[in-house]
Amino acid sequence: MGKTISKTLQVTFTLVLIVIILYYGKDVLAPLAIAGILSMLFVSPSLWMEKKGVPRWASTLIAVGILVMCIAGIGFLLSWQLQNFAEQISSLKQNLSQMLSNLQHWIQDRFDIDQAKQRAITETQMKDQSTERSSVTQLASVFFGLLVDFILVIVYTYLLLFYRSRLKNFLLKLTAPKDQEKAMEIVDSVSQVAANYMTGLAKMIVVLWILYGVGFTAIGVENALFFAVICGLLELIPFIGNLTGTAITVLGVTAQGGETNMILGVILIYGVVQFVQTYLLEPLIVGSEVHINPLFTIFSLVAAEAVWGIPGMILAIPLTGMIKIICDRIPRLQPYGYLIGSDKKTKSLWKRKFF
């Protein structure tokens, strides 16, 4: 009994220590974790190029170059669409002013708070925020931080790909000789499944861009491509991302002066795309190799956000899936893998029988 309690305390202390390290090491560990996931995407292409006689430094440089071009392409697309927003800024301001006026009248009618009091409350909150830091300084700080993190991710991705053999040998040196084969099998499985999952997710996001873009264009949404890209990218965060993307689109359509029919059209397109995503795209493109039950999906998202913020939410599902794979392949950890996973797998509509 005493040994069991001691072991439980050791496990609890270890988990608490890991959480503390992750929380306070966010600025250092988050870019490294993102680079680790991205590097797994390019292991197979790098190996293929090296078998063709391409030096490792060159294959790694080509892989990182493809990654940079993809990110730069998305950034260019978003900036191009934002320029269209800048051209419409005057009309957007008028629409937003009208929306704000309508909201103030509604609050006055419902809560008996006149517009003067509402403006006083708003001005007080804005003053409180302005005393902390000016908006320009805050924006510059965020932009500089993102730039530094982006450079770190690119550099880490290159180095992880280039030194992957050394990392593999390091793991072998940490493992007992009799367990080395099993350890390499686990590492290869985690890397392969994570790469397949991320590749499938990237393909699904591209298909979602097309679906949202066609749908938003069909109902007459201005800057439809911009909203389609935003909705697709936010799919990186399960549950929360798709709702956030739809809310941003609805808000943008409202600010553009869209009528109720257009807003309902956006919501209808969201429902149709989510149906196609759940029953066609995920089974056919992403697959069910990383299958986590809803309880631990939500828990991992909440916990990762509390520790690492938005980067944590993006990494939550791949990292939880990797943990599940490790648990499934180690006998003493298999109960935890069973707890995280799910027996019920999503079936494609092509395989469903309706009669």
pLDDT digits (tens, 9 = 90+) for 115-161: 565 555 555 554 544 444 455 566 566 667 778 888 899 999 999 99
Helix (H) or strand (E) holding 259: none
327: number of Cβ within 10 Å: 19
- Express each pLDDT in 60-114 by its tens digit: 999 899 989 988 887 777 777 666 666 555 555 566 666 666 666 656 666 656 5
| Residues 345 and 243 occupy one common structural domain | yes
| Residues 305 and 224 occupy one common structural domain | yes
| Residues 151 and 257 occupy one common structural domain | no
What CA–CA distance (Å, rounded) separates 34 from 133? 29
In this structure, what are the phi and psi dihedrals at residue 203, rounded to the nearest 5 degrees? -60, -40
325 occurs within a structural domain: yes
| Residues 201 and 162 occupy one common structural domain | no
343 occurs within a structural domain: yes
| Residues 165 and 269 occupy one common structural domain | no
Full residue range of the structural domain in which residue 64 is found: 28-89+146-174
Helix (H) or strand (E) holding 74: helix 56-87
117 occurs within a structural domain: no
Instruction: List beta partners, residue 341.
Output: 292
pLDDT at residue 278 in the model: 76
What CA–CA distance (Å, rounded) separates 326 from 190? 7
| Residues 247 and 163 occupy one common structural domain | no
3-state secondary structure 165-234: HHHHHHHHHHCCHHHHHHHHHHHHHHHHHHHHHHHHHHHHHHHHHHHHHHHHHHCCCCCHHHHHHHHHHH
pLDDT at residue 317 in the model: 80
Report residue 102 as tokens: 């309508």
151 occurs within a structural domain: yes
56, pLDDT greater than 70: yes
Rounded mean pLDDT of the chain? 76
| Residues 34 and 168 occupy one common structural domain | yes
DSSP string across 106-173: HHHHHH---HHHHHHHHHHHHHHHHHH--HHHHHHHHHHHHHHHHHHHHHHHHHHHHTHHHHHHHHHH
- Express each pLDDT in 219-251 by its tens digit: 888 778 888 888 888 877 776 777 888 888 887
Q: How far is CA 328 from the centre of its chain?
A: 25
| Residues 155 and 257 occupy one common structural domain | no
What CA–CA distance (Å, rounded) separates 31 from 63? 18
Sign of CA dihedral 86, 91, 94, 100: negative
Helix (H) or strand (E) holding 301: helix 294-308
CA atoms within 13 A on the CB side of 354: 3
pLDDT at residue 88 in the model: 57
112 occurs within a structural domain: no
State the total domains in the chain: 2
Do 191 and 232 meet the contact criterion of CB atoms below 8 Å apart? no
| Residues 256 and 342 occupy one common structural domain | yes
Predicted confidence band of residue 162 (pLDDT cuts 50, 70, 90): very high
129 occurs within a structural domain: no
Do 314 and 32 meet the contact criterion of CB atoms below 8 Å apart? no
63 occurs within a structural domain: yes
| Residues 298 and 339 occupy one common structural domain | yes
Question: Helix or strand or coil: residue 292?
Answer: strand
110 occurs within a structural domain: no
Predicted confidence band of residue 266 (pLDDT cuts 50, 70, 90): confident
Give residue 273's identity as a one-letter amino acid code: V
Report residue 103 as tokens: 């909201």
pLDDT at residue 103 in the model: 62
The pTM for the full model equals 0.71
Least confident range of 3-12, 18-27, 318-327, 346-355: 346-355
pLDDT at residue 299 in the model: 86
| Residues 209 and 85 occupy one common structural domain | no
What CA–CA distance (Å, rounded) separates 190 from 289? 10
Residue 199: C-alpha distances to residues 49, 114, 148, 192, 282 (Å): 18, 54, 25, 10, 12
| Residues 169 and 207 occupy one common structural domain | no
